[in-house]
Structure 1
Amino acid sequence: MQKKNIFILIGILFYTINIKACTIFSCSRGGETFVAANEDDTTPFTRIWYNPASSNRYASVCFGAPDMQVAAAMNEYGLFFDFAAANYDFTQLNLTNPYPGDIMWEILGTCKTVKEAIVILKKYDYISYSQALIADKYGNSVLVSPKGITEKNGDFQVNSNCNMINGKLSCRRPEIANEMLSGSKENSVEFLKKILDKTHQEGELNTLYSTIFDLKKGIIYVYLFHDYNIVYIIDLKSELKKGYRIENLADHFPASFAYENFSKNHSLYLKESIFQEMKNKGIDRTIDHYISESEKLSPKNEKLNSALLEAALQLIKYSWNEHNNGSMWYYWFSKPYGYDVQQYKDRKLTSAEKLLKYLSSKETTDLKLQNFMYEMIGFINLTQGDKILAKEFYEKAVTNPDKAYSVTLIRGKEILNRMKDIKK
């Protein structure tokens, strides 16, 4: 029972890291089927990644933060999902049968319709502080939460996350969307764009990007940082033919002072700058340059080392995503699938290891952070097939439990248990 409770807790965390205040709605009328969304968050640097079909998964496009968690996605058959944060008291819900991975990712890869998705959803409990909207090109949509499944009643459905306070919604976003959809029979990109504009947010929590998905045609209209005058159009069928890749959403838009100013004030800005340099000058040359900079004594040294650690982790996330059909880094969230480490060679992992070995070799009083880096080096070697060296670093990471993060202990002990027959 204790293990099951831990698994449920991890499942809750898994779905809430990057789910903020969003407004999402489906609309099917006049022979057209659309889904539109404002993605509201505090972390810019949105990624888009394209996943070609595999032997057991449909092709898809995903939108998400740099950690490669999927915020919204559509597959080649026009099945879509997106999340809005919500508050649930799990002590009042009898949730005992969570899906052993990412249930929405399973739906994206194996289902063509909402009806097929419901079959999977009814087999498991949906464990998440979020409410998901799932829609298909036939005009069907449902809201999915830990409390159950709500099918669309009428020709539109709104998914938003304003809380109820004294019986009233704490914000107007869902009301505005409902009023505009119910007050018109229109269903077009221009009309839906007006709703997105009316419900977007500015301030500490911003509408980072907005999307309108034409589920029948496989066309996606994308707007950056609540600017609805400039659109980036994605033809999913055409883009999937180009193969797997990860892109920065902002690269598809002209320079914007508002977006750039917001991004520069974010803690991940330096790491993102390092990645831009990798793109322009190559990974090895960039890493050598910044290691050299780190060796210099200067006030920016500590900040740079933190950014280099984030860069190493980003390289691992990219590598996992590419070699695991576009999925997020399950190992990071202690998901069962994450421990089934597929072995492959990847320059990104070699580069990440170089950064981690450099950073972990520096004198530090933060032994928990150092042991975390040992864990990451162990993971890289395990992935690249050197199980003996991997075991050595995992043992270093967990030898002193008082000087290790709890997640390092959980993951490290699980991996060592699976490697117990490996001898040096």
Structure 2
Amino acid sequence: MTPFTRVWYNPSTTDRYASVCFGAPDMQVAAAMNEHGLFFDYAAANYDLSKLNLTNPYPGDIMWEVLGKCKTVKEAIVLLKKYDYISYSQVLLADKEGNSILINPKGITEKSGDFQVNSNCNMINGKLSCRRPEIANEMLSGSKENNVEFLKKILDKTHQEGELNTLYSTICDLKNGIIYVYLFHDYNTVYTIDLKSELKKGYRIENLADHFPTSFAYESFSKNNSLYLKESIFQEMKDKGTDATIDYYIAESKKTAPKNEKLNSALLEVALQLIKYSWNEHNSGSAWGYWFSKPEGYDIKRYKDNRLTYAEKILTYLSANENKDLKLRNFMYEISGFVNLVQGNTKTGKEFYAKSISKPEEVYPVTLTRGTEIMKRLNK
């Protein structure tokens, strides 16, 4: 699990409601609430989609569409019923009127009582992978309380530790637009979000952990994650400037070659993170659809952003010095092609894409798929 949770604020646009989102560094939304009190949260469930007849998927992220276009669960149901929900996860959707539904690949389940519980369980076959939903149901059924302190007790009783840690928890007051956030199953320290006030500050991406005091347990967990070096480089970019930091680490990579695999891997992650950040800001807070091979991800939206320039600088250095792993080098050519297309450098972008897939036996399957689709569109 990735401990470096992001929170980002998305002001309203002409065609989307304002929202706050929580997710991993890949900027794929895990939970979100919009300005009208419509909220959703995913739970991993590992459904076997091959056993279901799902033939009409939404071409992008259906829940992202719900977040931006709907005010209530009732409105969302109209949209959701037009498509098959193709995801390995189950999502709980709720509104400020007290309505909620569970959505999974088998369909939609509306709330039938006073509450509805979602957890990381496969509900299609009626099997629960853990007791957490049972514990939550027992506590909710046995009490008439409905306040933050009681809900904190439920979070505490149902959190996970060990290999699959609870990274953060939220209690959402949908009527008043208030979110109480807890980091790494510490329910004594809270970060309170007043959504209306925060949205007035404009678009931004924040590290959730920056809103909490230092915790030895969280720090230890984070330092053991493979993305820790990348995150450390990003912190240096904040403190010392992006130009100086990137130049320093490229110089360090040159100095330590050929024993620089770990650093080069982190630099590649830095480049990808810069692209994901830039895409997120210029596309109303959405995830980088191209990265996830979403159909709408091939519709290249052009914009200028210094983060793309920095990403290209890193990719140029890494690809020029990658002679062992040809698939990795072609992957970097692919991403360089994307960066150039976004910035309007169509000729250069096309050259990179052509180079990235010129020898299919030396290409990752995902690069071949994406590169072939882009070239097909460029050659029209």
TM-score (norm 1): 0.87
Counterpart amino acid of residue 402 in structure 1: E
Aligned counterpart in structure 1 of residue 109 of structure 2, from 150, 154, 174: 150
Q: Which runs of 5+ in 1 are unaligned?
A: 1-41
Secondary structure in 1 aligned to 2:154? helix
Deviation at 1:163, TM superposition (A): 4.8
Deviation at 1:162, TM superposition (A): 3.3
Counterpart of 2:251 in structure 1: which amino acid?
Answer: S
Q: Offset at 1:226?
A: 0.5
C-alpha distance after superposition, 1:100-159 (max 9, x if no partner): 111000000000000000001111000111111000000000001111111101111001
- Of the three residues 191, 208, 228, the one matched with 2:167 is 208
CA shift at 1:319, angstroms? Answer: 0.6
The residue identity in structure 2 corresponding to 1:317 is K
**2:306 aligned partner:** 347
Judging by fraction of residues, say which structure has more strand.
1
Superimposed CA distance per residue, residues 258-294 of structure 1 (whole angstroms, 9 cap, x where no aligned partner)? 0000000000000000000111111111100100111
**Partners of 1:96 and 1:125 within 8 A in 2:** yes
Give the secondary structure class of the aligned counterpart of 2:116: strand
Select the residue among 260, 264, 267 that pairs with 1:308: 267
User: Secondary structure, in 3 states, of the residue corresponding to 1:67?
Assistant: coil
Alpha-carbon distance between aligned partners in 1 of 2:294 and 2:324, rounded to the nearest angstrom: 30
Q: Which residue of 121, 130, 136 corresponds with 2:95?
A: 136
In the alignment, is the contact (CA less than 8 A) between 2:237 and 2:245 conserved in 1?
yes
Q: Following superposition of structure 1 onto structure 2, how do residues 56-135 of structure 1 map, counting pairs within 5 Å?
A: 56-135=15-94
- In structure 2, the CA distance between the partners of 1:227 and 1:384, relative to structure 1 (3 Å rule), is same
**Structure 1 residue 299 displacement after superposition:** 7.9
2:348 match: 389
The structural deviation recorded for 1:167 is 7.3
1: CA distance, partners of 2:210 / 2:368: 39
The alignment-based identity, stated in percent, is: 79
Q: Is 2:248 the partner of 1:296?
A: no
Give 1:168 shift.
6.3
Runs of 4+ in 1 over 3 A off after TM superposition: 166-170
CA drift of 1:92 comes to 3.1
SS, match of residue 103 in structure 2: strand
User: What is the number of residues matched between the two proteins?
Assistant: 380
What's 2:194 paired with?
235
CA contact (8 A) 2:121 2:127 kept: no
Match of 1:406 among 365, 369, 374: 365
Q: What root-mean-square deviation, in Å, do the aligned CA atoms of Structure 1 and Structure 2 show? A: 1.5
SS at match of 1:341: coil
1:370 paired with 2:324, answer no
User: Does residue 1:281 correspond to 2:243, yes or no?
Assistant: no
Higher normalized contact order (CA 8 Å, seq sep 6+, divided by chain length) = 1
Distance 1:86-1:170 versus aligned 2 partners, 3 A rule: closer
SS in 2 for 1:82: strand
> Counterpart of 1:120 in structure 2: which amino acid?
L
TM, length-normalised to structure 2: 0.97
Q: Are 1:219 and 2:178 an aligned pair?
A: yes
Cα gap change, 1:234 to 1:413, in 2 (>3 Å): same
